[in-house]
Amino acid sequence: MAKTTGTGKSKASKSKSTKPTTRATAKGKPTAKKTAATKSTAKAAGSTTLKEGQAAPAFKLPDADGNIVSLKDFKGQKVVLYFYPKDDTPGCTKEACSFRDGTAELKKKKAAVLGVSPDSVKSHGKFRDKFDLNFPLLADEDKKVVQAYGVWKEKSMYGRTYMGVERTTFIIDEKGKIARIFPKVKVDDHLDEVLEAL
């Protein structure tokens, strides 16, 4: 009887321990999702929200040839600083080519163009050469600059959330201040609105 009782207790113990574990696991799944969402929200919160009239954050980044480019290099000149998600993708290619084709008009406005994305130097080199881009593409692989400019944000596609660059353009004046911000850029006719703002 002692053995039977012991076995019975053992079975009861196993039964009790199994059920709560199953429930805890079921409850744990949403918790895991919430934790992931919290982490990505925290990352997004790490980005700075800039306003027109503020000083543009300084930066030094490598271009497609590995040469270091600094915002200070353009002091006394207007800068069209545009952030884009990824090299050689449809929207980013169209945007880059529009700036390429508008070089003469941009020069008349005494403005230089700088493109920034988290892609590598090598990726930038291929993108530049493939489309004959005539302005610097800067590699922000550690994402410090996209966060400093507040464009590293939580995005969603097909029900999936992820962190990425929100297509944004900043016009920086000769004194290094932000003169205009174009958030959530629509590629079509973007060059025209930039030229108008300059």
The verdict on 23 and 98 lying in the same domain is no
pLDDT on residue 167: 96
**Total count of domains within the chain:** 2
**Cβ contact 62:122 at 8 Å:** no
The verdict on 104 and 37 lying in the same domain is no
Tell whether 147 is covered by a domain: yes
The verdict on 41 and 65 lying in the same domain is no
The verdict on 100 and 187 lying in the same domain is yes
- pTM summary value: 0.76
Tell whether 178 is covered by a domain: yes
The verdict on 110 and 146 lying in the same domain is yes
Residue 118 in tokens: 């988290």
Determine the structural domain holding residue 127 and report its residue range: 60-197
CATH number, domain containing residue 190: 3.40.30.10
The per-residue pLDDT for range 48-79, each reduced to its tens digit, is: 689 999 999 999 999 999 999 999 999 999 99
Residue 41 in tokens: 């929200």
Known catalytic residues?
A: 92
Tell whether 53 is covered by a domain: no
